[in-house]
Amino acid sequence: MTEQQLSTVEAELYDRQIRLWGIKSQERLRAANILLIGVRGLGSEIAKNIMLSGINSLVILDDGEVTEEEPQTNFLINQDSIGMKIADAVLVKAQALNPLVKVSADTSDLATKDPKFFEGFTMIIATRIKTDLLMKIDKVCRANNVKLIFGDVFGSFGYSVSDFQEHDYYEDQLRLVSKKRVLDATETKPEKETVNVKGQIVYPELNKVLILPNTKQSVDHIKKVKRRNEYFFLMLILLEFRNRQNRNPDIEHKEKDIALLQDIKIAVLDLYGFDHNKLNDVLFELVFGEVVPVCAVLGGVIAQEVIKAVSQKEVPINNVFLFDPVTFCGKEETVA
Amino acid sequence: MAAVAHSVPYSIDARARDLIPKSKVLLVGAGGIGCEVLKNLALSGFRDIEIIDLDTIDVSNLNRQFLFRKEHVGKPKAVVARESILAHNPNVKIKAYHDSILSSDYGLNFFKRFNLVLNALDNRTARNHVNRMCLAADIPLIESGTSGYSGQVELIKKGATQCYECQPKPPQKTFPGCTIRNTPSEPVHCIVWSKHLFNQLFGEDDPDQDVSPDAEDPEAKINGENSVTESGNIKRLSTKQWTQDIEYDPEKLFNKFFSEDINYLLSMENLWKTRTPPKPLSWKDAAALVGDKTKKDENSVRVRDMEVWSIAKCAQVFADSVTTLKKEHANKDFLVWDKDDQPAMDFVAACANIRAYIFSIAQKSKFEIKSIAGNIIPAIATANAMIAGLVVLYAFRLLVEDYEKCPSIYLRQKSVHSKFILAADKQLTKANPVCYVCSPKPFVNVFVNVDKMTVKEFESEVLKNHLNMVAPDVVLDGKGVMVISSEEGETEVNNDKALSQLSIVDGSILKCDDFLQNYELTVAVNQYVPVEKDDPLFKVVANPEELKAKETQNGKENGATSSKDAESDEDDLMVVDEVAEDPQEGSSSKRRKLNNDSDDEDIVEVPL
Ligand SMILES: [Zn+2]
């Protein structure tokens, strides 16, 4: 899809964001075709934000069914859709967010997808995905220049991990310049000017970032990460939990799940040589369910990274974002 | 009901889980942040919410205010936001008010019914007012705002934190009259001048918005004498009349403002000793300045709004917009400038660029000029979503009075120099002990010319505009005389008297009481006479030490040339200035306060 000029209707609708990121960025968004994997609490927040931003098309892939609880925490799903496929159930409300975006549902199982399926997108966003599938998709993305971001919310904790490969971007920087003209004595402050600066970030592939116990991944890289933030390890522990259990920690089996998380913690921290005391087990109390306002925060962060990746405007996160469930701070962690 | 219990999140304080379904929350604002907060509240198990917003929905809201759609344009935000949430979950009780929170209908008893108040506002006046109401009612308030990529969340709780008004907010940027009328040096000066010209030709008369050359400019004087004899002020009085006499002939208007007046300025030779002199431009000459003649698609947004017009095009747009505005004006006493009214915006864009050309200042696209003239703050869905998420996470903590765990949090644009996207203060910010709002005995010094300022001006400019009172009663201390009453018909007789006529002089103490805000302020009056042309009419200082520091800078807090017309319509946030702390992120501090009293922007102002 080539970039096309915006219509008057689009210029009016997107006015307040064009004033921030410029018309060129908006034209790039307008040409972007996005795949979103998983449309639960976090996924629906991401879907909302990128629909509003004005992309060309969105495919929502999720093979789950709407349970009784789902409508309580997912604003794209109505009460009357219980039993439907989630991807189908969110379509109407997702489309209503922005009639200019082509949105469609895919209810098939991600694991059965042909690699060719992933090639045609500008960008892929994955949530609630096991790491083996994620690594496969990352390989396809790298071979086809498709950008990838994945993320999750576990309770009050959340993160994202990006692979934008070799990413060129532009940012506006304010610089001080000396004034050319002599002005009155009262106006001696230097003038500021906005300059457009180009930058590049080279992202590591995901199998160098997410190294878990008992995998064949190279451990050469991990020696460097001893001083990492404890939440980086919390992320790995939760990913390993999902890989093993094929689900997220569940409040219905709280004690059992916390015991398993403690086991996994030991395996992960030993692999990295990280002090066990630096990751307090109390954190495991905070990882159940998907806290809606945390989904809102992560959905905002991830959608903004999608907008940056597609528009090539502004400095993206390189490459892990970790949301602190205690202080609510959010920080970039550069891994590998 | 099991379903309700399910929607209260796990992984938060167990006591908060119990309190969420029983709590009553007031959300002030249903714009960018307000829509997001309302959704978060409803999906987190809050069951009793009231929401108030004065605004109606505009197309430019739809890129982020996701509870609204195209068919809702023109409808009240609070009402549509409520309906949109109820359509999703009918079990939530939401009461919507399409009204101003400043109304006396929402007094102390109204506020006291809530466990929490969440601000999602776009203007300082309403923020100040809700701040006072929550202090008076002793209800915790979460203040929030965004501006572009940046934003902020702040707890305000009496006795635990500073209040919204503890730190003086930076004054609106204003420009001296002579810069606007005689010696513009930046595009914004030309834009302000053009808005003033619009008002001179089509708008309500405002002597502060003169556009003709100012012969009183101190810089133009030679040895204290005017270098030219004719006074600009005499001409000014007749501008509108003259315009009507010539029936808004675009060519004659053009020649007067861009040629004759410029020649007059050139005659004030002192002004051009150190500046590039302006080049007068006639209607005829302008037509020849066609610029790049390559064929362009005139219908594309890029060409029409995003590219800088040639001067010939500016002249044509000037003539066309004058003709259209003249017709509109014929049916009304006066027109009010609005950035979204196409001929009004075209007129300002064309005039600003013609004037910029004359003064050798960079010209801008209509799109850029609209940002500046309309005081538009960019707003995006993602920043609002993040801030609104944090607002509700703090709401959980406030239910269990965990105030210490709610220091201010800032959302910053990512830069190569900083790893933090969301950064929290280490601790709560304590109240300013001399805050004229939240200290135990609020007190300010007002510096004013007691022989000139009338009681009415004192009420509207000092007490209402500056000190944000809504309906003050004022008693002269020691004498017990009621000077200003909030009851109609009691003190109107004082309105036009100077303060000194009522024995309000240097050293007088006024007891000012706003019943609605439950706020009592002691004002010490100090005689002060503005000296320089651009000195403020009055100054308000909580602590006299502060005044000394300010005087060394400049005294433009109030009263300098500023157009009162530009209310920004942004509903989103405003950002607080702490956001700009990181010098690498200078763009977050790029405020466009430029030319007006619009209260949007700033500090902690957040959009809805
Ligand atoms: Zn205060």
* Mean per-residue pLDDT of chain A: 91
Residues of A in contact with B388 (CB under 8 A): 293, 296
* pLDDT the model gives residue A231: 96
Provide the residue range defining the domain that includes B309.
Answer: 177-224+238-374
For residues A151-161, one letter each, b for 16 or more C-beta atoms within 10 angstroms of the residue's C-beta and e for the rest, the string is bbbbbbbbbbb
Q: Using CA atoms, how far apart are residues A290 and B529, in angstroms rounded to an integer?
A: 62
User: Could you tell me which of B442, B423, B445 has the C-alpha nearest to residue B585?
Assistant: B423
Evaluate if residue A203 carries a pLDDT over 90. yes
Other CB atoms within a 10 A radius of the CB of residue B60 amount to 22
Q: Using CA atoms, how far apart are residues B196 and B201, in angstroms rounded to an integer?
A: 9
Count residue pairs from A and B with Cβ separation < 8 A. 219
**Same-domain check for residues A212 and A128:** no
* pLDDT the model gives residue B109: 96
**Same-domain check for residues B131 and B206:** no
**Same-domain check for residues B292 and B194:** yes
- Is there a cis peptide before residue A319, judged by omega within 30 degrees of 0? yes
The band of A194, judged by pLDDT with boundaries at 50, 70 and 90, is confident
Paired strand residues for B190: none
Q: Report the CATH number that the domain containing residue A312 is assigned in CATH.
A: 3.40.50.720
Cross-chain Cβ contact B378/A187 below 8 Å: no
β-pairing, A191-202 with A166-177? antiparallel
Evaluate if residue B55 carries a pLDDT over 50. yes
Residues of B in contact with A182 (CB under 8 A): 274-275
Tell me whether residue A197 is in a domain. Answer: no
Residues B466-487: tens digit of each pLDDT: 999 999 999 999 888 999 999 8
* pLDDT the model gives residue A281: 95
Residues of A in contact with B409 (CB under 8 A): 328-329
First and final C-alpha spacing in chain B? 32
Maximum Cα interatomic distance, chain B, rounded to a whole number of Å: 86
Per-residue pLDDT, averaged over B375-383, amounts to: 94
* Mean per-residue pLDDT of chain B: 85
Whether the Cβ atoms of residue A299 and residue A49 lie closer than 8 Å to each other: yes
Helix (H, G, I), strand (E, B) or coil at B241: helix
Burial of residue A281 (CB within 10 Å: 0-12, 13-18, 19+) is exposed
Tell me whether residue A24 is in a domain. Answer: yes
Tell me whether residue A193 is in a domain. Answer: no
What domain count does chain A have? Answer: 2
Residues B208-259: tens digit of each pLDDT: 788 888 887 777 765 545 444 444 444 445 677 888 889 999 999 999 999 9
Name the catalytic one among B35, B134, B178, B406: B178
Q: Using CA atoms, how far apart are residues B320 and A303, in angstroms rounded to an integer?
A: 43
**Same-domain check for residues A275 and A311:** no
Whether the Cβ atoms of residue B145 and residue B573 lie closer than 8 Å to each other: yes
**Same-domain check for residues B313 and B397:** no
Q: Report the CATH number that the domain containing residue B477 is assigned in CATH.
A: 3.10.290.20
The band of A218, judged by pLDDT with boundaries at 50, 70 and 90, is low
What domain count does chain B have? Answer: 3
Q: Report the CATH number that the domain containing residue B158 is assigned in CATH.
A: 3.40.50.720
CA of B157 to the centre of ligand 1 (A): 10
Mutate to test the interface with B, among A328, A332, A334, A335 (most CBs of B within 10 A): A328
The band of B296, judged by pLDDT with boundaries at 50, 70 and 90, is low
**Same-domain check for residues B192 and B332:** yes
**Same-domain check for residues A249 and A106:** no
CB-nearest partner of B382 from A16, A293, A304:
A304
Residues B156-189: tens digit of each pLDDT: 999 999 999 999 877 667 788 889 999 999 999 9
CA of A294 to the centre of ligand 1 (A): 31
Residues A28-77: tens digit of each pLDDT: 999 999 999 999 999 999 999 999 999 999 999 999 999 988 888 899 99
Tell me whether residue A1 is in a domain. Answer: no
* pLDDT the model gives residue B595: 30
Q: Using CA atoms, how far apart are residues B502 and A296, in angstroms rounded to an integer?
A: 57
The band of B567, judged by pLDDT with boundaries at 50, 70 and 90, is very low
Whether the Cβ atoms of residue A146 and residue A121 lie closer than 8 Å to each other: yes
Residues A157-185: tens digit of each pLDDT: 999 999 999 999 999 888 876 554 444 44
CA of B479 to the centre of ligand 1 (A): 30
**Same-domain check for residues A137 and A278:** no
**Same-domain check for residues A241 and A323:** no
Structural domain ending residue among the three candidates A264, A285, A306: A285
The band of B206, judged by pLDDT with boundaries at 50, 70 and 90, is confident
Tell me whether residue B566 is in a domain. Answer: no
Structural domain ending residue among the three candidates B524, B547, B570: B547
**Same-domain check for residues A224 and A303:** no
Cross-chain Cβ contact B43/A73 below 8 Å: yes
Structural domain ending residue among the three candidates B547, B565, B598: B547
Structural domain ending residue among the three candidates A285, A305, A323: A285
**Same-domain check for residues B119 and B210:** no
Per-residue pLDDT, averaged over B191-209, amounts to: 90
Tell me whether residue B496 is in a domain. Answer: yes
**Same-domain check for residues B368 and B385:** no
Residues A238-297: tens digit of each pLDDT: 999 999 999 999 999 999 999 999 999 999 999 888 889 999 999 999 999 999 999 999
Tell me whether residue A196 is in a domain. Answer: no
Residues of B in contact with A44 (CB under 8 A): none
Evaluate if residue B376 carries a pLDDT over 60. yes
**Residue B429 assigned ligand-binding role:** no
**Same-domain check for residues A128 and A269:** no
The band of B368, judged by pLDDT with boundaries at 50, 70 and 90, is very high
Residues above pLDDT 70, as percent of chain A:
90
Evaluate if residue B443 carries a pLDDT over 50. yes
* pLDDT the model gives residue B546: 60
**Same-domain check for residues B408 and B326:** no
Q: In what order do the strands lie in the sheet with B481-484?
A: B481-484, B472-476, B509-514, B519-527, B443-448, B538-541
Whether the Cβ atoms of residue B432 and residue B439 lie closer than 8 Å to each other: yes
Tell me whether residue A187 is in a domain. Answer: no
* pLDDT the model gives residue B457: 93
**Same-domain check for residues B259 and B284:** yes
**Residue B113 assigned ligand-binding role:** no
Top-confidence residue, A336 or B367 = B367
**Same-domain check for residues A235 and A154:** no
Cross-chain Cβ contact A15/B275 below 8 Å: no
> Whats the size of chain A, residue-wise?
336
Tell me whether residue B514 is in a domain. Answer: yes
Evaluate if residue A144 carries a pLDDT over 50. yes
* pLDDT the model gives residue B537: 86
Residues of B in contact with A297 (CB under 8 A): 385-386, 389-390, 393, 422
* pLDDT the model gives residue B597: 32
The band of A113, judged by pLDDT with boundaries at 50, 70 and 90, is very high
> Whats the size of chain B, residue-wise?
608
Paired strand residues for A150: A126, A161
Report H helices in B47-165.
77-88, 108-112, 124-137
Tell me whether residue A78 is in a domain. Answer: yes
Structural domain ending residue among the three candidates B497, B529, B547: B547
Q: Is B134 a catalytic residue?
A: no
* pLDDT the model gives residue B462: 94
Q: Using CA atoms, how far apart are residues B387 and B394, in angstroms rounded to an integer?
A: 11
**Same-domain check for residues B291 and B355:** yes
Q: Which helix (H) or strand (E) holds B2?
A: helix B2-7
* pLDDT the model gives residue B559: 28
**Same-domain check for residues B104 and B38:** yes
Top-confidence residue, A4 or B86 = B86
**Three state DSSP letters for chain A:** CCCCCCCHHHHHHCHHHHHHHHHHHHHHHHCCEEEEECCCHHHHHHHHHHHHHCCCEEEEECCCECCCCHHHHCCCCCHHHCCCEHHHHHHHHHHHHCCCCEEEEECCCHHHCCHHHHHCCCEEEEECCCHHHHHHHHHHHHHHCCEEEEEEEEECEEEEEEECCEEEEEEEEEEEECCCCCCCCCCCCCEEEEEEEEEEEECCCHHHCCCCCCCCCCCHHHHHHCCCCHHHHHHHHHHHHHHHHCCCCCHHHHHHHHHHHHHHHHHHHHHHCCCHHHCCHHHHHHCCCECHHHHHHHHHHHHHHHHHHHHCECCCCCCEEEECCCCCCEEEECCC
Cross-chain Cβ contact B10/A48 below 8 Å: no
Residues B253-276: tens digit of each pLDDT: 999 999 999 999 999 999 999 999
CA of B601 to the centre of ligand 1 (A): 20
* pLDDT the model gives residue A8: 86
**Same-domain check for residues A254 and A317:** no
**Same-domain check for residues B19 and B117:** yes
**Residue B595 assigned ligand-binding role:** no
Cross-chain Cβ contact B10/A79 below 8 Å: no
Q: What is the identity of the amino acid at B451?
A: D
Q: Using CA atoms, how far apart are residues B594 and B590, in angstroms rounded to an integer?
A: 11
**Same-domain check for residues A82 and A223:** no
**Same-domain check for residues A220 and A148:** no
Cross-chain Cβ contact A12/B60 below 8 Å: yes
* pLDDT the model gives residue B459: 95
β-pairing, A57-61 with A33-37? parallel
Which segment of A104-108, B28-32, B75-79, B604-608 scores lowest on mean pLDDT? B604-608
**Same-domain check for residues B515 and B400:** no
The band of B286, judged by pLDDT with boundaries at 50, 70 and 90, is very high
Tell me whether residue A29 is in a domain. Answer: yes
φ/ψ of A195, rounded to 5, equals -120, 145
Closest chain A residue to the Cα of B382, Cα to Cα: A300
Evaluate if residue B463 carries a pLDDT over 50. yes
Per-residue pLDDT, averaged over A108-121, amounts to: 96
Q: Using CA atoms, how far apart are residues B201 and A21, in angstroms rounded to an integer?
A: 36
User: Could you tell me which of A84, A81, A80, A78 has the C-alpha nearest to residue A65?
Assistant: A84
Which segment of A132-136, A177-181, B62-66, B102-106 scores lowest on mean pLDDT? A177-181
Provide the residue range defining the domain that includes A99.
Answer: 8-166+291-333
* pLDDT the model gives residue B174: 76
Other CB atoms within a 10 A radius of the CB of residue A195 amount to 10
CB-nearest partner of A155 from B10, B62, B586:
B10
**Same-domain check for residues A158 and A277:** no
* pLDDT the model gives residue B245: 87
Evaluate if residue B79 carries a pLDDT over 70. yes
CA of B159 to the centre of ligand 1 (A): 10
